[in-house]
Amino acid sequence: MIALTLGEIAGLVSGTLHAVGDHDPASVVDGVVDTDSRQMTAGGIFVAKPGEHTDGHRFVGAAIANGAVVAIVEHLVDEEITQIVVGDVIDAIAELARGVVARVRAGGDLRIVGVTGSNGKTTTKNFLARILSDEGETVAPIASYNNEVGAPLTMLRITDRTRFLVCEFGASAPGEIARLAGLVHPDVVIELMVGLAHAGGFGGIEETARAKAELVAAAAPTGTAVLNLDDPRVSAMGAGAEERGLRIIGFGQSPAADVRASDIEVTASGTSCVVHVDGQAIALRLQVLGAHHVNNALAAIAATGALGVAPADAVARLETVEIAERWRMQPMGGDDVRIINDAYNASPDSMAAALRTLAQITGPGERTVAVLGAMSELGESAGDEHDRIGLLAVRLNIQRIVVVGADARRLFLAAVGEGSWDGEAVHLPDADAAFDYLKDELRPGDRVLVKSSNSAGLRFLGDRLGESFS
């Protein structure tokens, strides 16, 4: 974080300062800000966040041991550390982030990119970070730091030297993107797609679209909206962008797109296409698996182009990205049995895309194996969407369908009902049972997809399989 006095921090968070030792309101702090006491370093600021299962106030002592010199708390704790008492620590870190970003922006050349979408956010922010890091100091979220805690913590990592801040905005209810993006008003906003991820929290896909459009409404007045023209709900956001006077850059495979892809090919070693932009046709060879990542790459090329990066430079940098993120289409295993661990999260759209990729990368004499768990947060659509994925897996001729967990049973029943009944589909109670089954079932030539929502825990099953067959 940038250097601020304790008095300035207390003012930004509307808190009451309780200084200890040689601290006073004029004392300067510039350490890391985090809610995890284990991540504290010398001079850090620990945010004592109350949690669902524990309370950060219990870990102030651990934060001190790791170097914290200030704690933002909701009540004083009996520890020898300077404390700033606030009404709500979540609101406090948001307001601290707002203030820090405003100061850096006022004093330098900070440009901010915000990205949202039902799928592809994390891959796209990693693509953005790779492109922009060659232009200057770039701060981007760790993993999926995109919620009411993660987004402000990412913003607070900037320094006076930071040129680019990439923000990933997720949401599970209306108003959340507006609140988070409103802290920084990005110069460039990216709308990837509107799907059924988290639809249970929004009440349906149209409500999801309205929530995602909050990012366009929060863009800086002279900003740029980068919109997926292949998604009609995203394309429709162009009207709102025009009303706000934003520059619009369309991407996708649509002929109307300003940044367009053609000749898409998916193999076991990566994904290739031709990028058409500014009258150029540039070959792109991604190491990342899956045709669905092409649009993420196009979005990153379009957004960084709005910030002055030449498309050819953006393409060259994207070609160096080895994986989208851990547990996202991550190749594991060995030459005989290849594992694709894509079990960090799942929605109907991403599940379908991953299954299609599995089918595309499996050659003659090789066998497709899909290890599938539940998709969470789908609300009333959950049953029908699990049915749809079960049907798709059979229609793609996935030769072994291994369904894990009670919440995914509908997927198994749909696969069996579609014809996968002679041992091709099995249902197992948990990840341990699935591992025991697969370590004996898998054979040379198998191409294995492990896919589920985070809550199903199959990402660790993917790790175990990758290690066993490496």
Give the pLDDT confidence of 238-267 residue by residue, as tens digits: 999 999 999 999 999 999 999 999 999 999
Rounded alpha-carbon distances, angstroms, from residue 293 to 127, 388, 461: 10, 22, 24
| pLDDT (0 to 100) of residue 7 | 98
pLDDT at 377: 82
What is the spatial distance between Cα 128 and Cα 150, in angstroms, rounded to a whole number? Answer: 18
Is pLDDT at 202 greater than 90 in this prediction? no
Q: Taking Cα atoms as reference points, which of 303, 231, 230, 224 lies closest to residue 261?
A: 230
Which helix H or strand E contains 436, and what residues bound it? helix 431-441
Please give the pLDDT value at position 201. 59
CA distances from 385 to 123, 193, 197, 225, 414 (A): 24, 18, 11, 31, 10
Q: Mean pLDDT throughout 364-381?
A: 93
- Range scoring the smallest mean pLDDT among 38-42, 198-202, 218-222: 198-202
Backbone phi, psi, residue 423, to 5°? 85, -5
Q: pLDDT digit string (tens) for 404-461?
A: 999 999 999 999 998 876 779 999 999 999 999 999 999 999 999 999 998 888 999 9
46 phi/psi in degrees, rounded to 5: -95, 130
Q: Which domains, and CATH codes, for the chain?
A: 4-87 (3.40.1390.10), 108-318 (3.40.1190.10), 330-468 (3.90.190.20)
Q: Is 175 left (phi over 0), alpha (psi -120 to 50) or beta?
A: left
pLDDT, residue 108, reads: 82
pLDDT at residue 153 above 80? Answer: yes
Residue 200 has pLDDT above 60, yes or no: no
166, β-bridge pairs = 113
212 annotated to bind ligand: no
Sign (positive or negative) of CA dihedral 171, 158, 73, 218: negative
**Whole-angstrom distance, CA of residue 119 vs CA of residue 197:** 7
| CA separation for the pair 330, 1 (Å, rounded) | 32
> Is position 159 annotated in a ligand binding site?
no
What integer best gives the mean pLDDT of the chain? 94
CB 56 within 8 A of CB 49: yes
DSSP sequence for 20-61:
-TT--TT-EE---EES-GGG--TTEEEE--B-SS-BGGGGHH
Sheet-wide strand order for 111-116: 138-139, 164-168, 111-116, 188-191, 224-228, 247-252, 259-267, 270-277, 280-286
Answer yes or no: is pLDDT of 355 > 90: yes
Residue 222's region, left for phi above 0, alpha for psi from -120 to 50, else beta, is: alpha
Q: Is 90 helix (H, G, I), strand (E, B) or coil?
A: helix
Span 158-171, mean pLDDT?
95
**Stretch 141-145: mean pLDDT:** 84
pLDDT tens digits for range 266-293: 998 899 999 999 999 999 999 999 999 9
Which pLDDT score is estimated for 132?
98
368 is in an annotated binding site: no
**pLDDT of 377-399, one tens digit each?**
888 889 999 999 999 999 999 99
Query: Of 254, 203, 210, which is closest to residue 236 (Cα–Cα)?
Result: 210
The distance from CA 200 to its chain's CA centroid, rounded to whole angstroms, is: 19
120 is in an annotated binding site: yes
Q: Report the Cα–Cα distance between both ends of the chain, in Å, rounded.
A: 41
Mean pLDDT of 136-159: 93
Q: Is 122 annotated as a binding residue?
A: yes
- Statement: residue 84 has pLDDT above 60: yes
- Average pLDDT over every residue of 365-385: 93
Angle between helices 348-361 and 292-306 (to 10 degrees): 110
Is 162 labeled as ligand-binding?
Answer: no
Residue 143: pLDDT band with limits 50, 70, 90: confident
Q: What is the pLDDT of residue 203?
A: 64
Q: How far is residue 191's CA from residue 225's CA, in Å, rounded to a whole number? A: 8
Report how far residue 193's alpha carbon sits from residue 228's, in angstroms, rounded to the nearest whole number. Answer: 7
DSSP 289-330: --THHHHHHHHHHHHHHHTT--HHHHHHHHTT---SBTTBSE
The answer on whether 49 is annotated among ligand-binding residues is no
This prediction's pTM = 0.89
Burial of 263-279, coded b for 16+ CB within 10 Å and e otherwise, reads eeebeeebbbbebbbee
Overall average pLDDT of the 323-329 stretch: 82
For the chain, percent of residues with pLDDT exceeding 90: 86
